[in-house]
Amino acid sequence: MSTRSTVILGTGSYAPERILSNDDLAHMVDTSDEWIRTRTGIRERRIAAPDQAASDLAVPAARRALEDAGLTPADIDLLVVATVTPDTPMPACACFVQQKLGVPTHSACFDLNAACSGFLYALDTACALLGSGRYRKALVIGVEKLSSVVDWQDRTTCVLFGDGAGAVVVGCSDEPGRGLLGTCLGSDGSSTELLCIPRGGSRAPSTCESIAARDHCIRMKGKEVFKLAVRGMDEAARDILEQHAVRADQISLVIPHQANLRIIEAISEYLELPMERFYVNVERFGNTSAASIPLALDEARRAGRIRPGDLVLLVAFGAGLTYGSALIRW
């Protein structure tokens, strides 16, 4: 086996300025701060400006990650963007990011959609490509402008989601035992309808009627997804720990997908790992899908919650239904 490992060289994040509080939402739909806080842990979320596309959120996050890594856009030859809310259906959000950031034209740039697990899929893809020796430095971004696909009249979903971006720069290292130790990705396509955007794709292109019915917006069967999310994230975490013969108590910090505080608390209980070992920012950002893990990772690092040598576990679950975990020796 090659000793070439892939390491995270820098992290960055960006959240749009506008804050939408639970009280603001209570003026829009029949809900309350109390209901949202007790059921989800969310207090507020960020909402992008109308003229900000996903790439406009991704670029400042990417700049911060590059600065953190001591690199420039010219150093990047692989750019992967995980998102379900690209600027346009075609071309890829990654191409807009490339142009705005000034990533060289010989770079490979593409989007990847694995919903809330998207960042872990993108990280795994980038690391595999770097490991192949065909690329040298990758920029991996998770970004969402979910406010553009939220049904603002549906109280069961509109209180949950927010906008944001997180990015990491990944490179190779000859130091064995450091960096990305492994990933565990999976998907169960038998329950696609539990969390989806029903129309606007090739199966059912949008019509005036479907737009009036807001069928181009997120629909979720929350209760079912909740149970599957707890089970899926618990299993994904256990699988990666088992594969690497690591005990849960050896993990310094878990960065879970931030969908609901109660899901994170359930995983903490199942893994018998105290909540202090989990990084949580869902109260300030809500669920930002593919952006949630890299945004939390960047915050955790900058807050001094991750030190060299720490074992960090990333774990996600989302539409698809997709799931994933990653183990990193920092």
User: How many of the chain's residues bind ligand UT7 (CB under 6 A)?
Assistant: 20
Note if 287 is an active site residue. yes
SS3 label, residue 295: helix
- The contact pattern for ligand UT7, residues 142-181, with x = CB under 6 A and - = no contact, is -------------xx--x----------------------
Note if 109 is an active site residue. no
Residue 318 CB, shortest distance to ligand UT7, in Å, is 4
Name residues whose C-beta falls within 8 Å of residue 308's C-beta, 6 or more positions apart in sequence. 330
Q: DSSP class of residue 287?
A: B
Q: Is the peptide bond before 308 cis (omega within 30 degrees of 0)?
A: no
- The contact pattern for ligand UT7, residues 237-266, with x = CB under 6 A and - = no contact, is ----------------------xx--x---
Catalytic residue (one of 93, 216, 257, 260): 257
Q: How far apart are the first and last CA of the chain?
A: 21
Q: DSSP class of residue 263?
A: H
Point out which span in 70-78, 106-114, 167-175, 220-228 binds ligand UT7 (CB under 6 A).
220-228
Minimal CB distance residue for ligand UT7: 222
DSSP string, 63-118: HHHHHHHT--GGG--EEEEE-SS-SSSSS-HHHHHHHHHT--TTSEEEEE--GGGH
Q: In terms of DSSP H, where are the helices of the chain? A: 22-26, 33-40, 54-69, 93-101, 118-131, 155-158, 208-212, 222-243, 261-271, 282-285, 292-302
Residue 158 CB, shortest distance to ligand UT7, in Å, is 8
Residues 258, 282 contacting (CB under 8 angstroms): yes
Taking Cα atoms as reference points, which of 184, 75, 86, 54 lies closest to residue 130?
A: 75
Point out which span in 5-13, 166-174, 177-185, 218-226 binds ligand UT7 (CB under 6 A).
218-226
Using rule CB under 6 A, residue 227 touches ligand UT7: no
Note if 216 is an active site residue. no
Which of 39, 231, 244, 277 is the binder for ligand UT7 (CB under 6 A)?
39
Which of 176, 201, 207, 223 is the binder for ligand UT7 (CB under 6 A)?
223
How many C-beta atoms lie closer than 10 Å to residue 116's C-beta?
Answer: 31
Residue 30 CB, shortest distance to ligand UT7, in Å, is 6
Nearer residue to ligand UT7 within complex by CB, 223 or 307: 223
Q: Which residues bind ligand UT7 (CB under 6 A)?
A: 31, 35-36, 39-40, 116, 155-156, 159, 222-223, 225-226, 229, 259-260, 263, 287, 317-318
Which residues are marked as active site? Answer: 116, 257, 287
